[in-house]
């Protein structure tokens, strides 16, 4: 996908920290509104409704200006997720440096910080990440749902999968906890086993999440499948129109078996902090996570 032309604005906000309403609690922090990565399946495109944007998702970005976080220690021990409805390391971060500013403000907070990205621009901030990692819990997660660059290019305008994996390795080798977030899992297209084997020696966690087609992008994805992978169209119809989940149940069993064979923990609804022996990442089953609210964060199988 070509990088779209981005209309940039600045917005002043009362604060940058937003209480999260996910089961994990904590805070969601997004230094920008909008995301130039323009993923075709981006659930965050609902943000348009809340921010008055009518442009296509991926073609606008508001750069947030916020008052300096006055008392970062207030977040000690709390979970802070950076990049829930934007990618803090989108290409415009190179110029505006808002994610770097945010991390600088939080570096002595003692918070449990998770950065979610599809970029390798995070490597620019290795000095800061190392400093944060000495004083706080820090995790960096890359979304990788394919090893096929052509499919990736059909779906997003972020950097190549190889660049993401190379960045993951560098951060992992620097002693920082990393996640390979296999999401969204596209039925018939995402090969979770191949991605697991490619990433297992450079990540502590593998997260698995199904493709969810509840958003306004459902029609675009169904059209894409019909045109590019017509052989898979009946499967998508079964899952997304007839609500038959047997495909993901089968994949869940496959993932559990993969964990057993490779001597990895297999848990759901959990983000255990500990780093794990190299080559044995904890596999976290977030399939249909949105429906298992309230099951607790036990680190065990809830089923």
Q: Are 35 and 155 in contact (CB under 8 A)?
A: no
Q: How far is the CB of 45 from ligand SF4 (least distance, A)?
A: 7
Q: Which residues bind ligand SF4 (CB under 6 A)?
A: 35, 37-39, 42, 44, 85-87, 118, 156
- 101/256 Cα distance (integer angstroms): 40
Q: How far is the CB of 12 from ligand SF4 (least distance, A)?
A: 22
Nearer to ligand SF4, 31 or 264 (CB): 31
Nearer to ligand SF4, 30 or 269 (CB): 30
Q: How far is the CB of 156 from ligand SF4 (least distance, A)?
A: 6
DSSP string, 225-287: HHHH-GGGHHHHIIIIIS---HHHHHHHHHHHHHHHHTT--EEES----S---TT-PEEEE-T
Nearer to ligand SF4, 92 or 138 (CB): 92
Q: How far is the CB of 257 from ligand SF4 (least distance, A)?
A: 29
Please work out, in degrees rounded to the nearest 5, the angle formed at the alpha carbon of residue 194 by the alpha carbons of 190 and 197.
140
Q: Is the peptide bond before 61 cis (omega within 30 degrees of 0)?
A: no
Q: How far is the CB of 85 from ligand SF4 (least distance, A)?
A: 6
Nearer to ligand SF4, 85 or 167 (CB): 85
- 84/44 Cα distance (integer angstroms): 8
Q: Are 258 and 223 in contact (CB under 8 A)?
A: no
Nearer to ligand SF4, 181 or 287 (CB): 181
């Amino acid at each position: 996908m070509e990088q779209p032309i981005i209309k940039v604005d600045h917005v002043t906000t009362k604060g940058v920290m937003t209480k999260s309403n996910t089961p994990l609690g904590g805070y969601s922090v997004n230094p920008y509104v909008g995301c130039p990565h323009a993923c075709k399946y981006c659930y965050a495109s609902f943000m348009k409704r809340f921010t008055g944007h009518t442009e296509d998702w991926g073609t606008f970005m508001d750069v947030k200006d916020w008052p300096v976080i006055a008392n970062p220690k207030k977040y000690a021990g709390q979970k802070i997720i950076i990049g829930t409805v934007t990618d803090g390391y989108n290409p415009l971060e190179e110029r505006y440096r808002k994610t770097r500013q945010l991390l600088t403000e939080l570096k002595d907070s003692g918070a449990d910080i998770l950065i979610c990205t599809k970029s390798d621009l995070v490597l620019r901030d290795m000095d800061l990440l190392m400093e944060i990692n000495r004083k706080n819990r820090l995790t960096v997660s890359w979304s990788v749902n394919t090893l096929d660059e052509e499919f990736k290019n059909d779906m997003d305008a972020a950097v190549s999968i190889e660049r993401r994996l190379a960045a993951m390795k560098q951060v992992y080798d620097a002693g920082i906890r990393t996640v390979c977030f296999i999401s969204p899992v596209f039925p018939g297209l995402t090969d979770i086993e191949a991605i697991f084997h490619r990433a297992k020696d450079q990540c502590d966690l593998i997260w698995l999440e199904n493709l969810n087609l509840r958003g306004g992008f459902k029609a675009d994805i169904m059209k894409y499948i019909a045109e590019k992978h017509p052989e898979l169209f009946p499967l998508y119809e079964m899952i997304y129109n007839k609500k038959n989940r047997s495909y993901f149940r089968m994949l869940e069993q496959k993932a559990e078996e993969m964990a057993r064979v490779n001597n990895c923990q297999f848990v759901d609804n959990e983000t255990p902090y500990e780093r794990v022996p190299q080559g044995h990442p904890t596999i976290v089953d977030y399939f249909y996570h949105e429906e298992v609210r309230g099951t607790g964060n036990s680190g065990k199988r809830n089923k």
